[in-house]
Structure 1
Amino acid sequence: MAAVCLCATGSAIAEPTSPITPARALDSAQPAANGSRLTAAEQGPGRLVELTVFSAAMGKPITIEVLPAVDDSVPAPTLYLLNGVDGGSSDGDWSTGDNWLTKTDAASFFADQHVNVVMPIGGGGSYYADWRHDDPVLGKQLWTTFLTKELPAVVDSAFGTTGANAVAGLSMSGVSVFQLAMGAPGFYRAIGSYSGCVRTSDLQGRAVVDSLVTSQRGNVDNMWGPPNDPAWAANDAYLNAEKLRGTTIYVASGNGQAGPLDTLDGPGIDEDPAKLIDQLTVGGILDAIAGRCTMQLGDRLRELNIPATVDVRARGTHSWGYWEQDLHNAWPSFRAALER
């Protein structure tokens, strides 16, 4: 099922020079207004640049993985990619965690594209929100402030960006992208949500949010308060869809039924029957829920005459292989929005 598709063609830089190096990023980076700053930059695998950005709001360093634009001679826009419920790391190590770099072809897909791809590591169970109270386990969670007011100032100066931004996320962060866009109107030209359930304030939505936060041992009351608190409705993109008008929107999900990638030789399964069973059962349930949420959001956007691409696949589960496809499919409309 699809609404109005916002698509456009674009071209990568034909004769690139070279991406920005860690040394140049350190030399160019400027602090945010509140003192958040780049404290380290190192060369990672391939062209990956690994940043450490101190968040003044949260009082701690945050690891940021960046795929710099292919050509450093021309300012480029920025695409922020957010991770799922575990924040993309395993015991603080992104290289062994489930994230855009380890589970998809993001590094090669954007290798010839004129865009800075920025991937924060951390924020597991946080919904990338500004929590009202510090959590005994998760600590101080002020991710909306970090992502919209602290990190962009550092990235824009370090990499010489155009100032045009887009953001995409999956599962938990597929909800967060809407909340970030509503909280910072006009900051993101495009948002992508893959297998997210954005209707957070009805009974099903609250149950999903609570289960994901609890899975990381957090207390959801510290985020938006008890179930009857107005903050739940205020963060519900279904109820507040009018705030998304003017933003390029790409929303996708499976419907929970086994699809072409749900096989023993599918992405990430590695011929492991246990992994496949988990993907078909847990992943099937999660995308059955996300698929219904996505259809509801699509109906709401059409009702308000807000253009969007809404793609609910005939089959597919809650898994990285489909999210990689979603990223590929969304990119043309993202690129058009970032270049306008």
Structure 2
Amino acid sequence: MRCRSAVSAMLVVVGSIVTGVSGAHAQEPEPVAAVLDRIVSIGGSRAEVTAIDGRQVTVRIRSAAMGREVSVKVQRPADTTVARPSLYLVNGAGGGEDTATWEQNTDVVDFLAGKDVNVVMPIGGAWSYYTDWREPDPMLGVNKWRTFFLDELPALVDTMFATTGKNAIAANSMTATSVLQLAIAKPGLFRSVAAYSGCAQISDPVGKQFVDVVVATGGGDASNMYGPPGDPAWVANDPVVNAEGLRGTKLYVSNGNGLPGEFDKPGDSHLVTWGPVGLANQIVIGGVIEATTRWCTVNLQNRLEELDIPATFDLSTQGTHSWGYWQKAFKNSWPLLAEGMEIHA
């Protein structure tokens, strides 16, 4: 009951604040600029390069599953004379539609600029958990993000650019749940997965309440996602319950304990909002959220140990739900992500 009360307090605070051919290589490697205005269509989904900024390419994808356009940034490796693997770097609850992104709050994208990898960064799907919803939502619309991530996006990326078809995926906060779900839904598509500060256990009362309020923060109704409480879809989509599906995937999972740590200090460069208010929000709100996700993460760890499924867990003794810790966790997880993509870290 103590944990349930802590979660309830956290939720009040939070409320205030391709069916395709993934792995196919359709063309020889080429300079980044050569892909400008290229158009690729697969199974009713369509992708078009619309802009280039240095090594970053913006791709507009018309998703057949959702009937909407999705913008995707792709950072190309410095050397495109040979095929490269792809890392899908997924933003949190805001879906990259706000300023809470890896690119704006960390140096991870710059870090990856020195690696032999395509960095794929989708924009959209805020508060959706990047899953397939059973019903359209009055606020969040039609959400078939699982179909997009598994069947549409990789096939289009692999066809548009020269790739090896060896993929990894990493995400923080809300979408740390999503990447585990995606790995279970299509084993082998993502050879390595990194999840930072997520709540994987979504079907028990505490986990479901967490999901409900995250979705409601964006104005959505989670009953349109997996149905009302007790609907079998909640259990069917719970990564802890279905952890057997993670066998064979290289896993890195991290979480702090909610107590202030090295990045919870005045003037820290990772503060989303500067000044005393920003720091207080990070310590109080971020602390409660991180303590809750740690509970979920420990349950995932116990479940994987029970099933004898190897995984790397970093349960730091301190740290809040914030970017400084996710930047550090990403770099700690990079060797595992690189191993899955079969490249040097």
Q: Which runs of 5+ in 2 are unaligned?
A: 1-28
Letter aligned with residue 269 of structure 2: P
CA contact (8 A) 1:26 1:158 kept: no
* Pairing 1:194–2:203 present: no
Residue 59 of structure 1 is matched in structure 2 by 67
CA contact (8 A) 1:254 1:315 kept: yes
Alignment partner for residue 278 of structure 1, among 281, 287, 311?
281
User: Mapping of 1:124-273 within 5 angstroms?
Assistant: 124-269=126-271, 271-273=274-276
- Cα deviation, residue 39, structure 1: 2.8
- CA deviation string 1:233-253 (max 9, x = no partner): 111111111110000000001
Aligned CA distance change for structure 1 residues 30 and 286 (closer, same or farther; 3 Å)? same
In 1, Cα distance between equivalents of 2:113 and 2:137 = 39
Residue 98 of structure 1 is matched in structure 2 by 100
Moved more, 270-279 or 255-264: 270-279
Aligned CA distance change for structure 1 residues 212 and 19 (closer, same or farther; 3 Å)? farther
In 2, Cα distance between equivalents of 1:109 and 1:194 = 18
Alignment partner for residue 329 of structure 1, among 329, 332, 337?
332
User: Mapping of 1:103-122 within 5 angstroms?
Assistant: 103-122=105-124
Alignment partner for residue 38 of structure 1, among 47, 60, 66?
47
User: Mapping of 1:75-90 within 5 angstroms?
Assistant: 75-90=83-98
Alignment partner for residue 48 of structure 1, among 43, 56, 60?
56
Alignment partner for residue 309 of structure 1, among 308, 312, 325?
312
- Cα deviation, residue 324, structure 1: 0.8
Q: TM-score, normalised by structure 1?
A: 0.89
What is the aligned length?
314
Residue 21 of structure 1 is matched in structure 2 by 32
Q: Which runs of 5+ in 1 are unaligned?
A: 1-17, 91-96
- Cα deviation, residue 40, structure 1: 3.5
* Pairing 1:73–2:75 present: no
Alignment partner for residue 319 of structure 1, among 312, 322, 335?
322
- Cα deviation, residue 26, structure 1: 4.2
Residue 12 of structure 1 is matched in structure 2 by none
In 1, Cα distance between equivalents of 2:207 and 2:37 = 42
Letter aligned with residue 239 of structure 1: V
- Cα deviation, residue 107, structure 1: 2.3
- Cα deviation, residue 191, structure 1: 0.8
In 2, Cα distance between equivalents of 1:314 and 1:249 = 20
In 2, Cα distance between equivalents of 1:246 and 1:55 = 30
What is the RMSD computed on CA atoms of the aligned residues?
A: 1.5
Moved more, 293-302 or 199-208: 293-302
Moved more, 290-299 or 130-139: 290-299
CA contact (8 A) 2:36 2:52 kept: no
In 1, Cα distance between equivalents of 2:31 and 2:217 = 38
Aligned CA distance change for structure 1 residues 148 and 233 (closer, same or farther; 3 Å)? same
Letter aligned with residue 67 of structure 1: Q
Q: TM-score, normalised by structure 2?
A: 0.88
Aligned CA distance change for structure 1 residues 19 and 116 (closer, same or farther; 3 Å)? farther
In 2, Cα distance between equivalents of 1:20 and 1:235 = 41
Letter aligned with residue 21 of structure 1: V
> Counterpart of 1:58 in 2: which secondary structure?
coil
Counting aligned pairs with the same residue, the percent is 45
In 1, Cα distance between equivalents of 2:82 and 2:170 = 24
Letter aligned with residue 39 of structure 1: E
In 2, Cα distance between equivalents of 1:327 and 1:19 = 29
In 2, Cα distance between equivalents of 1:282 and 1:185 = 35
- Cα deviation, residue 112, structure 1: 1.4
CA contact (8 A) 2:319 2:325 kept: yes
In 2, Cα distance between equivalents of 1:285 and 1:267 = 21
CA contact (8 A) 1:32 1:151 kept: no
> Counterpart of 1:117 in 2: which secondary structure?
strand
In 2, Cα distance between equivalents of 1:78 and 1:322 = 23
> Counterpart of 1:136 in 2: which secondary structure?
coil
